[in-house]
Amino acid sequence: MKSFAISLYHVSGKAYRLVSKFFNLPSKSSLLRWVSGLPISPGISQKALDAIESKVKCMSDAGKLCTISMDEISLKTSLMYDSRRNEVVGVEDFGKGHRTNRLATAAVVFMARGITSNWKQPLGYYLVHESCPSSILKTKLFEIIGQITSIGLKVRAIISDLGSNFQKLLREMNITPTAPWFMYNGRKIFYLFDPPHLIKAVRNNLINYDFHYGHQIAQWNDILTILGALPSTGASTAELVANFDKIFDCLNSSTLNSSKQHRRPISDKSVHHEFLSDMLSLIKSIKVVDSATQQDHTNNLKCPNVLSSGNCTEDLDVILLAGSNFQKASKPPERDVTKGPAAAPMEVDVTDYKSCLEGNIIGMNAVTYVTGYLLKKYFLKHFCDICQNALTKQDLNSSTQLLCLFKTYEETKEKPFGGLISPSDTFLDHLLGLEAKFVIEFENNVSKKVSYF
């Protein structure tokens, strides 16, 4: 029920509230409390691996065969103080305390997936700035291979998209089209680009260029006019598209029986071997030519962005380990209450903490209001007439006091701001100095844990 409730709430909060009227679903606070117990820190949790290992022990040898997929997803930059972990979340984080002061703009995610069995399991993620360097990708990849191999899974292939950092990783590992593998503990592990991304890259290049192969020419305009009268080159384009459709079927077979011959599993006597050999020769013979200038662009091709046309095929795989198992496997560490109050994570809206407040009447009013609140808390512990006269003022002679004035409930001659406190100019300048100091130190210390004193 909890897993269903979280999935529904993730899809639509409005739908969750509507369904809650008819079914007894957990409250939002209950869901947040349950999710907070999951191992969500960057990297791979050893306790989560221990829980996955219990599932692997029940698998057959063929069921343990798997691939590792890795991909980068863009993130909205934001910072949040997590009181449970006593650190600021939202900076570049490679796990095990390896953090930098740069804002995270993307996440590298690793997932294992069964080859002969329909299971999948997210393994871990790392927060990165802009793009993960290939050197770090290589380190983390080998680290993950070692960890899941140690619990009994057998990695046979690595799969990624056409990102520039993944292509650089291949060059550093000396992986080539003729030798598409690397060695790990004496066994070959193959590296594959995701076939859907490859097909989409071909499609996107065909939109911009003509493909010359053999004595034939394929053009995107032929596809656009396929419902009408086809030009003489239409048959060539149709043949090319049909061949790539069969290539896609060969690389994405998932059932024993299919009406399409090339979508059936590869075997010793299947047609796949001869067909793929022919297609390899065909692809090598293709020349990408600009239809306007007739200039050959074959050696200058780039991989267009295919994220805008993502795969919408229904995913029939099952998650190997549910969230409830993770929760049992990994309990959050108990917080030492002597080091600070326990509180929910403090989210910070999108803002520039370096923004100058000088001349910003809205910002200065907010600072004045917060400064008055700090003084109010201070006076609860240390109150004297000298401090009050030195640190507060009663006159309304500044535009920075407007918020305090409009927040007032009961205004009297003795208390023009009611129960609110308006700080003196001296103390306000002191707080602005602290703010300036914070701006200087924050960038250098945001990746460190907060120290209480």
Query: What residue segments make up the domains of the chain, in order of their start?
Result: 1-38, 39-193, 197-289, 353-446
Q: At residue 252, does pLDDT exceed 70?
A: yes
pLDDT digits (tens, 9 = 90+) for 12-57: 888 888 888 888 888 888 887 777 766 678 888 777 787 788 888 8
Quick one: what percent of the chain has pLDDT higher than 90?
19
Q: What is the pLDDT of residue 187?
A: 93
pLDDT digits (tens, 9 = 90+) for 264-303: 888 888 888 888 888 888 888 888 887 777 677 666 665 5
Per-residue exposure over 228-249, b if at least 16 CB sit within 10 Å of its own CB, e if not: eeeeeebebbeebbebbebbbb
Q: What is the pLDDT of residue 66?
A: 93
Per-residue pLDDT, averaged over 302-317, amounts to 54
CA distance 193 to 163: 10
CA distance 14 to 28: 12
Per-residue pLDDT, averaged over 193-208, amounts to 89
Q: What is the pLDDT of residue 39?
A: 64
70 burial (CB, 10 Å; 0-12 / 13-18 / 19+) is: buried
Per-residue pLDDT, averaged over 190-212, amounts to 90
Task: Name the pLDDT band for 409 (thresholds 50, 70, 90).
Answer: low
CA distance 182 to 138: 12
Residue type, 257: N
Residue type, 18: L
Q: At residue 237, does pLDDT exceed 60?
A: yes
Per-residue pLDDT, averaged over 135-142, amounts to 93
CA distance 307 to 167: 17
The neighbour count for residue 328, using CB atoms within 10 Å, is 11
Q: What is the pLDDT of residue 340?
A: 39
Task: Name the pLDDT band for 70 (thresholds 50, 70, 90).
Answer: very high
Task: Name the pLDDT band for 416 (thresholds 50, 70, 90).
Answer: low
CA distance 426 to 389: 11
Residue type, 412: T
3-state secondary structure of 209: coil
Q: Which two tokens stand for residue 390?
A: 């030195």
CA distance 102 to 90: 9
pLDDT mean across residues, the chain: 80
